[in-house]
Amino acid sequence: MASKSQKSDHSENLNFSIILSRSFAALSTLLCVAWNADSAAWFGMAFLNEQYLATILGLSLGTVFLTTRLNGNENNHTTWYDYLIAIVGLSTLLYTAFNMTDLLDLIGYRPAILTFIGAVVVVWVMEGLRRSTGMVLFCIIGVFVVYALLGHLVPGTLVGRKVEIHHLVQYIGFDPSAVFGTPLNVGATIVILFVFMGKLLFKAGGGEFFTDLALAATGRMRGGSAKISVIASAMFGSISGSAVSNVATTGVITIPLMRRGGYSGVNAGAIEAIASTGGQLMPPIMGAAAFLMAELLEVPYISIMGAALIPAILYYGSVFIQVDLIAARDGIIPVDKNIPKAWDVLKRGWQFSVPMLVLLYALFFLNEEPERAALYAAVSVIFVGLFRPYGDNRINWKNFLGTFWETGFSTMELILIVAAAGFVIGILNITGLGFALTLFLVTVAGNNLIVILFLSAVICIILGMGMPTTGVYVLLASLIGPAIIEAGADPIAAHMFILYFGMMSMITPPIALAAFAAAALTGAGAMETGYSAMRLGWVAYVVPFLFIYAPTLLMNGDPLSIFWDFVKVGIGVFFVSVAIVGFFNRKLSLFFQSGIAILGLITLAGLAPISYSNFISTGAIGIGLLFFVMLFLASKKDAVTESSSSS
């Protein structure tokens, strides 16, 4: 009898925990929608932005502590102290939100209540970060907090201003220029809405539509199964903003297709990982990172989208070339299933163009803010999803309500990351470390831009390991961005450089989350999948250096120069991609493989500011084309010889 009673109590505890955490998560999404719809104005009320941000942060903390245990596991066995921590964190931030006006008036006097609020925010965010993201980011932020307290004892260039602990927690845990600054503002107003729109889109059948469209477009081609993965993952990844969730969502369909077609487990996993990761570089949405960049640089969003276009084309162009040549080299068969016609897919799913058109029209013709454009697009998704199903997928009352708490769960980790990024920005300001770090990097590199870029690339990949790309970008834009700009780089180019290398941590061992997620689906070795993904994604390690020296690749320059540089880089990317696979109509000998690789690299290097660079790159292109003519003639000769032998 006692056993049944205990089991019943435990079941009730589980149900209450689920209901409460889903309520917090759903409320954070609902508040985001209401905030961006200016619903307070309908009732003649007005709230400070900091009040909204404090509420969202409190709800995210409550959700994290109700769903994630001390050891980082996600389960519903919520202990009494998890409830207590969640209630204290949420209550403190709700108190802060309701009394924000009075508290901001007192900030110059540094009262004890601000010390308490700041301490709770800092400790709770750090612990929530440790539970939800692991020790890597927790330790990185922890190093900055320790530096803030001991930085005045650091010798040399990196010496910091002395800061008392109560002043520190008040500043980074409450000040609008720290925790309630730009990163949290963008995450809580823009990112939540875009995630909400994306989840609605896939509830309506958008994921299946993207996969069917990719299947119809490339399924009959050589290596069609891999090309389906590339197209579907690019479309999905641009909206989702998460490489890992992209792998998990599209990979369950595309990886079995690739395996049945003949791709090895390592190659199938690597293709899915690299395609899913690159979605965050693909306009128009870019996984919301573009909106963060626009806010931090204070430039129009269209400038960021335009800058991202050519590098994204080069990235996916290189992947397409390689998967096609791998298919030819390894004899990969076409997709072994009924392939729909593109027209039939478009007839069944034309409605999914409506939200994209609404989004783009609101952004570029109505000049709306990104969050308002996302709200319009989300409303249009609801209408098309309610009235026009795609297959068995339709938005109904139940899954519509579920989208609110699912969005809250998906964004709670990001909200804590951007809040922690606010800590770092606050520490850079209060200690003077921001200027000192820039000076240190410039001094170490001798003000040599290429050395600073290499150092920054390594730092971006290391600090980005185990972190979502959007969070990586926000953190590194504050740490590394100023040094690259100080060395002479264009601000947009510098931030794109950071975004690229922060993103590549997703496929770069030893901690390559996207590659590891794909390896879990293929059963292949995780490290082997990571190294294979690096090979396929080589262009993402090279192009950022190119657009630092040639801003034409970011649509910055006269149209003729932009076109010519794009053509040169495109040819160079083609040469190197062929050399990496080692196949073009026939298996390449070492002479041809190394020769084409060298000519491709020389073509790419032609964008560097060196004497006769245009002449050198043009010459390399000419010699390279001669190589391909020789390969074509040799292949034709082999075919004639084989035909004669058969006769």
Q: What mean pLDDT comes out for the span 60-78?
A: 85
| Residue partners of 168: CB distance under 8 A and separation at least 6 | 145, 148, 149, 427, 430
pLDDT number for residue 3: 42
| pLDDT of 642 above 70 | no
pLDDT number for residue 442: 80
Q: What mean pLDDT comes out for the span 493-500?
A: 92
pLDDT number for residue 116: 96
Q: What mean pLDDT comes out for the span 263-288?
A: 84
- Among residues 22, 23, 52, the alpha carbon closest in space to that of 38 is found at 52
| pLDDT of 193 above 80 | yes
Q: Return the bridge partners of 390, or none.
A: 393
Contact of 427 with 145, CB cutoff 8 Å: yes
Q: Confidence class of residue 511 from pLDDT cuts 50, 70 and 90?
A: confident
Query: What 3 state SS string does 81-119 have?
Result: HHHHHHHHHHHHHHHHHHCHHHHHHHHHHCCHHHHHHHH
Q: Confidence class of residue 646 from pLDDT cuts 50, 70 and 90?
A: low
Cα–Cα–Cα angle for 196, 198, 203, rounded to 5 degrees = 95
Residues in the chain: 647
CA distance 429 to 448: 26
Q: What mean pLDDT comes out for the span 576-598?
A: 92
Q: Confidence class of residue 212 from pLDDT cuts 50, 70 and 90?
A: confident
pLDDT number for residue 10: 41
| pLDDT of 5 above 50 | no
Q: Confidence class of residue 240 from pLDDT cuts 50, 70 and 90?
A: low
Instruction: Supply the Cα-derived Rg of the chain in whole angstroms.
Output: 26
Handedness of CA 255, 501, 134, 424 (dihedral sign): negative
Mean residue pLDDT of the chain comes to 86
Contact of 327 with 222, CB cutoff 8 Å: yes
446 or 414: whose pLDDT is higher?
A: 414
- Among residues 91, 117, 235, 131, the alpha carbon closest in space to that of 172 is found at 117
| pLDDT of 364 above 70 | yes
What ranges do the domains of the chain cover? 12-184, 561-647
| pLDDT of 613 above 80 | no
Q: Confidence class of residue 12 from pLDDT cuts 50, 70 and 90?
A: very low
pLDDT number for residue 288: 66
| pLDDT of 11 above 50 | no
pLDDT number for residue 644: 63
Q: What is the DSSP letter of 76?
A: S
pLDDT number for residue 4: 40
| pLDDT of 489 above 80 | yes
Per-residue pLDDT tens over the stretch 250-266? 787 788 888 877 888 89
Per-residue pLDDT tens over the stretch 71-101? 877 776 788 899 999 999 999 999 999 999 9
pLDDT number for residue 6: 41
pLDDT number for residue 483: 87
What per-residue string of b and e applies to 197-232 under the rule 16 or more CB within 10 Å gives b? bbbbbbbbbbbbbbbbbbbbbbbeebbbbbbbbbbb
Please name the helix (run of DSSP H) or strand (run of DSSP E) that holds residue 549, with its range, or none.
helix 539-549
pLDDT number for residue 241: 63
CA distance 596 to 584: 11
Here the tokens at position 342 are 């593109």
pLDDT number for residue 647: 56
| Residue partners of 241: CB distance under 8 A and separation at least 6 | 191, 194, 195, 198, 280, 285, 286, 287, 288, 289, 468, 469, 470
Q: What mean pLDDT comes out for the span 316-334?
A: 88
Q: What mean pLDDT comes out for the span 454-478?
A: 80
